[in-house]
Amino acid sequence: MDFLKELGIREENFGASTGLKWFTTTDNGIINVISPADGKQIAKVYQCSENDYEIVASQSYEAFKYWRKVPAPKRGDVVRQLGNKLRLYKDPLGRLVSYEMGKSLQEGLGEVQEMIDICDFAVGLSRQLYGSTMVSERENHRMYDQYHPLGVVGIITAFNFPVAVWAWNSALATVCGDSNLWKPSSKTPLCAIAVQNILADVIKENNLPEGLFSLIIGKGSTVGEKMLNDKRVPLISLTGSTAIGKHAAEVISKRFGKTILELGGNNAVIITPNADLKLAIPAVVFGAVGTAGQRCTTTRRLIVHEEIYERVKTSLVKAYSSITIGNPLDEKNNVGPLIDKSAVEEFNQALRRVIEEGGKIIFGGEVLSGNGFESGCYVKPAIVEAENHFKIVQEETFAPILYLIKYNGEVQNAIDIQNDVVQGLSSSIFTNNIREAETFLSPWGSDCGIANINIGTSGAEIGGAFGGEKETGGGRESGSDSWKQYMRRQTNTINFGTKLPLAQGIKFEI
């Protein structure tokens, strides 16, 4: 395929790089990258060794010591150039994301656009790394806080957003004066290699140090654990399951490192009797089936008032019947495959469990086979009538299953159902009633990090901070003031007088 050649993807690729230099380890295992779109092998990747990791991490630390001295606006200019390179490679990189991961081509291109957008955001940010000035209680004293570069930022990404989440972190970290050490998912390593190849031009053109943008592709049990335990990496941003996040948090906290955790989501949309269903139904369908249900912000629960329940159910089934499923590179298709056959089995297991608990499948749920579905990774998105207390509903199944749940009475009852899960990422309510909307956004409303009115749970813009509460991890990435996590805060007090008064009026004479 032409886009593979354009991105520098070969039949055999190496798994560690410090920017321009690639390490040639070939005896630490091979990843055979299979496309879920057609079941064909795309390429091979040689996994890096623990020794490779040591060299790469050391180089990343040395790069940080250089980069922290570069003025932030100049750091921002490098990110500007990266954004421009991504514009040039948007089409081939978007196609690779679609082919390697399985999301629709429109979503693949949209993911690369997220990378471009966060670069633009970071360029402006490079001139706005503000601190605050505080009033001192002491005469002739001035107090202020400022932010300094933190160090090497470890970025561990998941398969479902194989390039955008790296960009969210690396664009901000780079303008903040940090170096970047990236461990991508072993399910989508080619996207990471492609990005590293795109970066190479920026590195050459600016004579940047090796290690500013580094990549390690390897086993979580080896190089992944080394990163978690590495004191040279003061911050690790991890996107993954709640179980993986808990383990990482325990390991990193023992060495007093910092974390940004983007973990599980069990996102709900509430539809009240005051909703505009012309807005709600399309939003729910995209939120539930986009990326084949493999977004952390996927709509997994739909909480509908009993007055309009049957009407919503009928509309949903009709909308789902019009979904086109197939090869994600074909723009006529709305939904592509799941990432692999193990994801298909999780889909099947979840449906079996919900039936055992008393749920009812009212649409979909089949594994598709035959012409065009030879990979065995395609499923028909399912709608299931269920209750929120079912154990399977309380969990996050990374697949296109939408649980339809009924509520009655006031909107607070629906909010209580929504909040009654351990995850707290994204949430949404559809209503034209201002009291219901404001209740949803109040302190006793949604307990999620993202709360939307009359839009769905997925498709967040980069300008807002992204992340959630409870077992979602509590981290924030992308916009707003998320940049502060990539820097260390320092409070400064300056005495420009001739006396030495102490705070709180303490007297000390010698």
Residue with tokens 């909480």: 303
Q: What is the pLDDT at residue 186?
A: 98
The Cα 39–Cα 128 span in angstroms is 47
Residue 448 near residue 427, CB atoms below 8 Å: yes
Q: Which of 296, 377, 436, 471 is catalytic?
A: 296
The Cα 176–Cα 148 span in angstroms is 8
Q: What would the pLDDT profile of 393-417 be if each residue is shown by its tens digit?
A: 999 999 999 999 999 999 999 999 9
The Cα 82–Cα 171 span in angstroms is 9
HSE-CB at 324 with a 13 A cutoff on CA atoms is 11
Which stretches of 211-291 are assigned E, i.e. beta strand?
213-216, 235-239, 258-262, 267-271
DSSP state of 335: B
Share of the chain above pLDDT 70, in %: 100
CA distances from 483 to 175, 238, 478, 488 (A): 9, 16, 8, 10
Q: Which of 107, 262, 436, 471 is catalytic?
A: 262
pLDDT value at 247 more than 90 = yes
How large is the angle between the packed helices 90-101 and 105-125, nearest 10 degrees?
130
The Cα 343–Cα 397 span in angstroms is 9
| Closest C-alpha to 162, from 134, 126, 190 | 190
Residue 343 near residue 336, CB atoms below 8 Å: no
pLDDT value at 99 more than 90 = yes
The partner residues of 179 in beta bridges, in order of sequence, read: 152
* Residue 262 annotated as catalytic: yes
The Cα 303–Cα 173 span in angstroms is 38
DSSP state of 367: B
The partner residues of 263 in beta bridges, in order of sequence, read: none
Q: What would the pLDDT profile of 64-98 be if each residue is shown by its tens digit?
A: 999 999 999 999 999 999 999 999 999 999 999 99
Which stretches of 335-390 are assigned E, i.e. beta strand?
360-363, 382-385
Q: Report the C-alpha dihedral over residues 459, 464, 469, 471, rounded to 10 degrees.
A: 50
As separate numbers, helices (DSSP H) first and strands (DSSP E) second, the chain gives 15, 23
| Closest C-alpha to 269, from 462, 440, 465, 463 | 440
Confidence of residue 350 (pLDDT cuts 50, 70, 90): very high
Residue 486 near residue 465, CB atoms below 8 Å: no
Q: What is the pLDDT at residue 460?
A: 85
pLDDT value at 509 more than 90 = no
pLDDT value at 157 more than 90 = yes
